Amino acid sequence: MRLLPDRPDLGWTPYAWLIYLVPLVIYPGFGHASARVWAATGATLVVFLWLYFRSFWVKGRAAVACAAGIVALALLLAPWNYAVSSFWVYAAAIFGDKLPARTAARGIAVLLGLLALQSWAFGLPALYWVSSAVFTALIGGVNIHQAEVRRADAKLRLASDEVERLAKAAERERIGRDLHDLLGHSLTLMALKAELAGKLLARDPAAAGREIAELESICREALREVRRAVSDFRAEDLAAELSRARLALATAGIGVEVEASPPTIEPERASALALALREGVTNVIRHAGATICQIRIAGRGSDIELVVADDGRGGIRREGSGLTGMRERIEAIGGRVVLGAPQDGRRGTRLEVSLPRFAPEIS
């Protein structure tokens, strides 16, 4: 049976917070408590653990009910076991994590009011109510802040996904329109020429031959136009990848400095450079721990150069499969990849990719 839901942001920390239950278990031993107090402490601990782990699976009113149950345990056991004061902090943490910020703040205020009332009614010592009040307000406030950050990140991811989806849809529509405009007339003309040649073939072979020659010319021209269009589409892949890199880095909270003026480049090479940019930016986001990422794309003589540099932890000892595949792809078309520390001696990593803009002509 799973105690926690499959949430990457949780990890092992919910188990670590149970360390605050240790005083609850050992406190009765200091006062030579009766068997009844030990039994009440044990029963309280069992119910608390059920409510605590359940709170990670639910939200809204169900989460409030878990926090309320923990508060009820604190109210009932406090006169016999002062270490139950940590229960107030657990309840505040649930409010901060599961409720909207204003609702959570009001809930924590109610907790503090109940704590004050309980301490006054039972004459509980200052050690109980002072520590409870301070950490209830502190942990509750921290959880409110973390929950707001998490919600903002989720909204940003959704917005990023929606922008990418809309961009892809718009690109598909544009390509469809361009191909229709590009090939519609040529294909119609080819069909007419082929039909006419077929009709002339029997009675006027020479005229049919001229039509077929014109058909061949139209086909070759259409092929050239398609190649030019594909070249344009592939050239835009690099610009699109640069836009995605900006968005991904900004989403990850990494500053971006871009200097890009890519010259004309063959489609295959533009695609390879776009993939290299994607791999470099992905590594910065996943592994670098950087605050700034610098991207530069520029021509250098007959070559085009891509540089992705960051101010992160650096110290890459070996290349993963992504970097190895990218290096092989670049070297296969006559380029080179250099991975190392920044040239100015600062900490971080610098990825430099350079390749000829055009394939060498084969004579």
Q: What percent of the chain stands above pLDDT 90?
A: 15
CATH fit for domain 236-356, picks 3.40.30.10, 3.30.565.10, 3.40.50.1000, 3.90.650.10: 3.30.565.10
Task: Report yes or no: 262 and 238 within 8 Å, Cβ to Cβ.
Answer: yes
Whether 19 shows a pLDDT value over 80: the answer reads: yes
- Per-residue pLDDT averaged across 215-241, rounded? 72
For tokens 């509750």, what's the residue? 140
* Domain residue ranges in the chain: 13-157, 236-356
What does the pLDDT read at residue 51?
93
Angle at the Cα of 162 from the Cα atoms of 60 and 294, rounded to 5 degrees: 110
Q: What is the CA radius of gyration of the chain?
A: 34
- Tens-digit pLDDT profile for residues 109-143: 999 999 899 888 888 888 788 888 999 999 999 99
What does the pLDDT read at residue 362?
47
- Tens-digit pLDDT profile for residues 29-83: 776 778 888 898 899 999 999 999 999 898 888 989 999 999 999 988 888 888 8
Query: How many angstroms separate the CA atoms of 110 and 102, rounded?
Result: 13
- Per-residue pLDDT averaged across 357-361, rounded? 65
What is each CA distance from 249 to 151, 172, 260, 282, 302, in whole angstroms? Answer: 18, 25, 16, 9, 30
Task: Report yes or no: 255 and 284 within 8 Å, Cβ to Cβ.
Answer: no
**Confidence band of 108 (pLDDT split at 50, 70, 90):** very high
Query: How many angstroms separate the CA atoms of 305 and 233, rounded?
Result: 20
What does the pLDDT read at residue 363?
42
- Per-residue pLDDT averaged across 186-194, rounded? 78
More confident residue, 359 or 259: 259
